[in-house]
Amino acid sequence: MTTSVPTIIKCSIGPYPRSMPLGIHDKLPSVKVLLNNGEEHTLFEFYPDEISFTESEFIGLTIDFARRLKYEKDIWHIQSYMKTR
């Protein structure tokens, strides 16, 4: 018997904070997804001045791969920041 891992069929990102300085205390945007088995999940929050996402990047991914995408973008941001120092 094979079991398939649920995949993302819908994604929403936001809400984004207001421009600074008004948005200094606003909540970070989050990535929320709907899986093909009907489950809904909030995957993570992120700093929109460091990394960005589009909803289409998540369609077809599993939760693990979606979280890996955030991890890889975080690493890329840190490495690019370190190169400028």
Q: What residues does each domain of the chain span?
A: 8-83
Which tens digits make up the pLDDT trace of 16-72?
A: 999 989 999 999 999 999 999 999 999 999 999 999 999 999 999 999 999 999 999
Q: Which long-range contacts (CB under 8 A, 24 or more apart) does 67-72 make?
A: 67/43, 70/31, 70/43, 70/44, 70/46
Categorize the per-residue pLDDT at 81 as very low, low, confident or very high, splitting at 50, 70 and 90: confident
**CB contact at 8 A, 31 and 11:** yes
Q: In 3-state terms, what secondary structure has residue 43?
A: strand
Categorize the per-residue pLDDT at 1 as very low, low, confident or very high, splitting at 50, 70 and 90: low
CA distances from 26 to 15, 47, 51 (A): 9, 11, 17
Q: In 1-85, which ranges are E strands?
A: 8-14, 30-35, 40-45
pTM (predicted TM-score): 0.87
Task: Give the model's pLDDT for residue 44.
Answer: 98
